Amino acid sequence: MITNPNRRATSAQNRYERIRTVGKEEGVLMIEMEYADGGTLAQLLARSQNLLEEEQIVDMMIQMCSAVAYLHENSVLHRDLKTANVFLTRDSFVKIGDFGISKIMGTETLAQGAKTVVGTPYYISPEMCSGVSYNEKSDMWALGCILYEMCCLKKAFEGDNLPALVNSIMTCAYTPVKGPYSSETKMVIRELLQLDPQNRPSAPQALKMLRPSENRHRHTSGSMRSSVSFTTLYDLHVPTITLSSIPDLPSRISVKQISLSKTHTMVLTNDNELFGFGDNSCGQLGFGTFSKVESGKLVESLKGRDIQSIGVGNYFSVVCCDRGTLMTIGTAKNLGLGKEAKDSSKPVLLEQLLRENIKEIYCGHDHVIAILENGECLGWGSNQYGQLGLPTLEHFFNPTKILMPNNKKIVYGKAGKDATMLLSEDGSLIAMGSNKHNKLNLTHRVGFFAKEKKIKMHFDRLPSALAERCRSGSMPTINDETHTWLREEFEQAEIIPIDSSKRRVRFDDSCDKLKMDSTAKRNSLMREIDELKSKIKEQDTTFEGHRNQMSDLESKLKELQAKQAFLRKSEPPPAYDRRNVTYNKLFPERENTSATCVIL
């Protein structure tokens, strides 16, 4: 490996990646190299949620160009420059490694160029794709691809297959950089990604473009740049409403994720360090002990792991590492290792899922949901309330596949105390578990995905028969926004048509007695309705009251249905004169409607 070779500073020579030991083991040559404890540039970009700061990008690019310039000055072609071969230290020093296919340029190579096609397809140059000779300018093309990827968090050239990728490279078809970066940085990308290798800048020229003045040199103190943000964690003490910082955490820490339960807390940093504190009675903190930890402490057993995400529940923790492998810690019943498992105070690999690529994990109080790359879901732990979406309300000791409605693919989710909600790729929400207090916003039970929601009926919203106004050609209706159990009966009621030519009504003094009789009957019915409303209001707050009011309403409904059945057997109303045929007995003020319309 080679790092920043600023030859004007003799101390920089000590920052080359040195070979520690060389030896043979079982006939195989073994080389121990200096350890880069910050991971690779590819890992840094993969876990970045937001675009990198331009100052950070330029700083790392200066180091890469400086190292490549040193290689070319010593007649070495790297030929496999890519983000996975750029190593980082915790102090943000860049080291270029993996010289497995590098080539020393002899006199013939310097004159005619190399011809062997090697390297990673995403970063190979157009001249290598076309099969012609190439030189150190191919390394500069790869640096342009790396710089583009740092600015956009995606590769400069992509394709569904190798021919499509090669065609994209040969035509230099890449999307222009649109991030919040200066025109100088965008210009460097354009210059490095020139189709003609002669037009590309050399490594020293690229250095001048990136570093116009000497004050852009990296500080040798090893400290992080000022543009990098850091995090301070505080604990809120609710009874006194006071904040206190978490003790013993590093002063310069950048938090990626915090996961906590009522027993303990785990903190994941952007440097792939995992800290834990709290109750450790089941070993859920991963320290190899079962004693309580009062302040933040580094989990040494996971140091150096590429941790993607974490999840914690009551007395257990789950860690999702690179390539979707899972490690579990803590109480045996939630480790996913079967009924015979025992509490573990150190991370244990979940071998059952080694062939699965886990994308996300979500932990409830006593259950775990894992989302796979293909959109499928696995679950284990407590299913007491159906929170796993599995067919039996028992405890599942091993990861079990969850069958989704209509085979939907899941992309996101959340797990709570006794419930789970999942989001599918088509935007559907799937709920599982307890619906206490209607927290899942469900109205009906669908298998084991939800408990039934109790619905309170709003009887006070039922319209008064006197206040309701009939619309032409329709029955009396209820407000569209009011949902009652009588709506279906109204919608299914039969409408008896009345010819408008037969609705003429003549009035004279002879109908006064008829009006008085109708008014008396109307008042009697209204008193009965008012009494029923009063009884409903008194009984509304008790279960027994609900049952009584439903019984009363059912009897009224049967009465209406009996009248409806009788009317269906009757002939349509004849042409009538109010003097001879009495209609609207209940509502005489409605002159142009029949009693049939109002009752239904």
Compute the distance between CA of residue 473 and CA of residue 542 in angstroms, rounded to an integer.
Answer: 40
Residues 6+ apart with CB under 8 A from 438: 453
The number of CA neighbours under 13 Å toward the Cβ of 279 is 15
Which H or E run contains 209?
A: helix 203-210
Q: 10 Å Cβ neighbour count for 376?
A: 17
In the beta sheet, which residues pair with residue 320?
309, 326
d(CA 335, CA 343): 8
CA-based nearest residue to 146, from 97, 86, 102, 93 = 86
CA-CA-CA-CA torsion for 480, 481, 486, 487, nearest 10 degrees? 30
Residue-wise DSSP of 211-252: -SSGGGSPPTT-PPPTTS--B--EEEETTTTEEEEPTTS-SS
Per the structure block, which two tokens stand in for 525? Answer: 């019915």
Q: CB-based burial of residue 137 (10 Å sphere; 0-12 exposed, 13-18 middle, 19+ buried)?
A: buried
- The gap from C-alpha 151 to its chain's centroid, in whole angstroms, comes to 24
Query: Is residue 80 annotated as part of the catalytic site, yes or no?
Result: yes
- Point out the catalytic residue in the list 59, 80, 366, 418: 80
The Cα 177–Cα 280 span in angstroms is: 48
Q: CA–CA separation, 549 vs 212, rounded Å?
A: 85
Instruction: Give the N- to C-terminal CA distance of the chain in Å, as an integer.
Output: 89
SS3 content of the chain, % helix, strand, coil (to 5): 30, 20, 45
Q: Write the burial class of residue 84 (CB in 10 Å: 0-12 exposed, 13-18 middle, 19+ buried).
A: middle
Buried b (16+ CB within 10 A) or exposed e, 170-196: eeeebeebeeebeeebbebbebbbbee
Give residues with Cβ within 8 angstroms of 230, minimum separation 6.
251, 252, 253, 254
HEC profile of 434-482: CCHHHCCCCCCCCCCCCCCCCCCCCHHHCCCCCCCCCCCCCCCCCCCCC
Q: What is the DSSP code (8-state) at residue 26?
A: T
As annotated, the active-site residues are 80
